[in-house]
Amino acid sequence: MLLSKNEDKVCGELRKRGFVVFKVKDLQKLLEMDKTKAYNIIKALKKKKVIKKMKNFLAFADEEDFAVGNSIHYPSYISFWTALSYYGWSDQNPRVIFLATTRYKKQVESFKYVTLAKKRFFGYRKEGKFAIAEKVKAIIDSLLLPKYSGGIREIRKCLENAFAEINKEKLIEYAGKIGSKAVMRRLGYFLNNLGYKQTGKLKKKMGSGYELLDPSLKRKYICDKEWLLDVNE
């Protein structure tokens, strides 16, 4: 559908300035137009399906969902079940898009923001217009908070599917860097079961006491003494 001169100018300027999501006030400020004119242009662009309305935001209809999610809340990167699916390790296609962030943000439509401590906010890369967890970090984030990745069984399956292609040493390095005993134990347990035995660095840092393999389930007292895990699947 053809755009008017003003509509084309608005879209051009927003894209030129790198806007993925925006508000009416951005148009007013950027193009020095009054509120009524800005609303009329937005109304016309929505009717022509050039832009779409989201909760408290507007976005170009042709933008990737991942880029929209990143732009709504900064800093953030795609991770957890969404990243596992993106890398082809999960045969599930979760309707919710999970993103890691350091600042609390309520869910916006299909975007779920999971807050991490600043020291755990690392291991992501830029791909096109969006930021996504590195392959090993997607697994580590998932082991930290399994409920955002389909649960511990889904993560085990994804790790099995990813096993041949991921860097195991980097996986162990990131587990230590994230500083969670539960993550180190879950990872070590899974790696050993997959036949990978170079896990001494994990054992040195895992501390004492038992952790749950699956934090969503009650204790079963089925204890793995090597990894100090209650294998409560």
Ordered by start, the domain boundaries in the chain are: 5-63, 67-205
5-63, CATH topology level: Arc Repressor Mutant, subunit A (1.10.10)
pTM of the model: 0.94
Successive 10-residue mean pLDDT values, the chain, 233 residues: 88 92 90 90 94 91 96 97 98 94 96 98 96 98 98 97 97 96 97 95 90 95 95 92
Exposure pattern of 122-142 as b/e (b: 16+ CB <10 Å)? bbbeeeeebbbbbbbbbbbbb
CA-CA-CA-CA torsion for 18, 19, 24, 29, nearest 10 degrees? -20
Residue-level pLDDT at 207: 85
pLDDT digits (tens, 9 = 90+) for 182-204: 999 999 999 999 999 999 999 99
Q: How many Å from the N-terminal Cα to the C-terminal Cα in the chain?
A: 55
Residue-level pLDDT at 215: 95
In which element (H, E) is residue 70 found? helix 65-72
